[in-house]
Amino acid sequence: MNGSAARQTAAEPASAAEISEDTTSPAVDDATPLAAEAQEHVDLARRVQATARFPKPAETRVFVVANQKGGVGKTTTAVNVAAALATKDLRVLVVDLDPQGNASTALNIDHTEGTPGVYEALVDGTDLDELVRPCPDLPGLTVLPASIDLAGAEIELVSLVARETRLDKALQSYLEDCEDAGDRIDYVLIDCPPSLGLLTVNALVAGREVLIPIQCEYYALEGLGQLVRNIDLVQRHLNPRLEITTILLTMFDARTRLSSGVADEVRKFFGDKVLRTAIPRSVRISEAPSYQQTILSYDATSSGALSYLEAAREIAVPKES
């Protein structure tokens, strides 16, 4: 499986900006001519467009998108995988559990200070159906927004009863209400902040599956041991059904040995939990949030959009044997 990440990453003609992003590594892959890259892009487009809809899971799948390392692509992954699933006819809820509110921004949901959101659910016990908002651009996608008010929650939660299980309680009751109303949510993606504090613990208690985005950069693996140990602790003491099921390599640059090296290490450690698709480093992906868009609406045919669609397909469609 090693090395397959390079093959599975959609090729996009590199812009000057992208090329200048990595001048430190001399390792340019001469074996991947532009024509082959273009062909890969076409093949990937064909593959992701071939499926008009993904199957509904037997029960709601709740993913915690976590990695305490900052800037590794947690939010980008949460919003784009969510958007990809929603475009394939599934009902998806994104829970923005980061006071930075980046997922809310990317999905064009108001989250100015004082906007009710996940803070009210955690601290005041407000029902989620009063707080969840539809994403204006994507039918089927809803968002529990976060505003900067959430920054205080980490401290306020400490003195509250059942401080680790408050999100779980709120989410389960909301999911049951949706199901009773005949409007079952298929996927929930919880976007965690870059820390292992009480907010992330609440997410790990509320979730069933952990999705860890790993940036294909030096130091990528540092801190992973601690993350895995924390997940293990939560699993043993608070949520026995929690499991790391999905690893996604992000900001993969097929032209560098560094990216391939990190990908190989990650695959050695996590085996087939690592999605075959790696998300390429792409300027288009990083531009999309400033237009309050996901990559799927910002540039639907770009390598970034196709890769997130393919990653979502790997998550949603059971593996062929």
In 10 A of CB 245, how many CB atoms?
14
Of residues 235, 286, 292, 297, which one binds ligand ATP by CB under 6 A? Answer: 286
List all residues 6 or more positions away from 260 whose beta carbon is below 8 Å from its beta carbon: 3, 5, 6, 254
- What minimum distance in Å lies between the beta carbon of 309 and ligand ATP? 14
Binding status of residue 77 toward Mg ion by CB under 5 A: no
Task: Tell me which residues in 22-81 interact with ligand ATP (CB under 6 A).
Answer: 70-76
List all residues 6 or more positions away from 120 whose beta carbon is below 8 Å from its beta carbon: 126, 130, 131
Residue 214, binding choice from ligand ATP, Mg ion, none, Cβ under 5 to 8 Å by partner class: none
Distance between CA atoms of residues 88 and 304, nearest Å: 17
Binding status of residue 74 toward Mg ion by CB under 5 A: yes
Among residues 213, 250, 231, 199, which one has the least CA distance to residue 97? 199
| CB of 142 or CB of 282, closer to ligand ATP | 282
| CB of 100 or CB of 260, closer to Mg ion | 100
| CB of 10 or CB of 141, closer to ligand ATP | 10
| CB of 174 or CB of 308, closer to ligand ATP | 308
User: Binding string, 81-120, against Mg ion, x = CB under 5 A?
Assistant: ---------------------x------------------
Please report, for residues 103, 142, 148, 267, the alpha-carbon distance to residue 249 in angstroms, rounded to integers and kept in the order given: 19, 25, 29, 10
Residue 279, binding choice from ligand ATP, Mg ion, none, Cβ under 5 to 8 Å by partner class: ligand ATP
- What minimum distance in Å lies between the beta carbon of 297 and Mg ion? 19
| CB of 243 or CB of 287, closer to ligand ATP | 287
Tabulate helix, strand, coil % of the chain (nearest 5): 45, 10, 40
Among residues 191, 188, 167, which one has the least CA distance to residue 102? 191
- Residue written as tokens 């044997």? 321
Copy the structure tokens of residue 55. 């199957």
| CB of 145 or CB of 194, closer to ligand ATP | 194
Q: Could you tell me which residues are beta bridge partners of residue 134?
A: 142
8 Å CB contact between 170 and 129? no
- What minimum distance in Å lies between the beta carbon of 203 and ligand ATP? 13
Task: Tell me which residues in 234-263 interact with ligand ATP (CB under 6 A).
Answer: 250-251
Of residues 171, 279, 309, 316, which one binds ligand ATP by CB under 6 A? Answer: 279
- What minimum distance in Å lies between the beta carbon of 10 and ligand ATP? 11
Of residues 8, 60, 102, 202, which one binds ligand ATP by CB under 6 A? Answer: 102
| CB of 140 or CB of 213, closer to Mg ion | 213
- What minimum distance in Å lies between the beta carbon of 164 and ligand ATP? 21
| CB of 55 or CB of 70, closer to ligand ATP | 70
Copy the structure tokens of residue 139. 């039918």
Task: Tell me which residues in 81-100 interact with ligand ATP (CB under 6 A).
Answer: 98
List all residues 6 or more positions away from 119 whose beta carbon is below 8 Å from its beta carbon: 146, 147, 149, 150, 152, 153
Sign of the torsion angle spanned by Cα atoms 225, 228, 234, 237: negative
| 167-205 residues labelled b (16+ CB within 10 A) or e (exposed) | bbbbbeebbeebeeeeeebbbbbbbbbbebbbbbbbbbb
Q: Which residues make up the interface to ligand ATP (CB under 6 A)?
A: 70-76, 98, 102, 194, 250-251, 279, 281-282, 285-286, 289
- Contact set with Mg ion (CB under 5 A): 74-75, 102
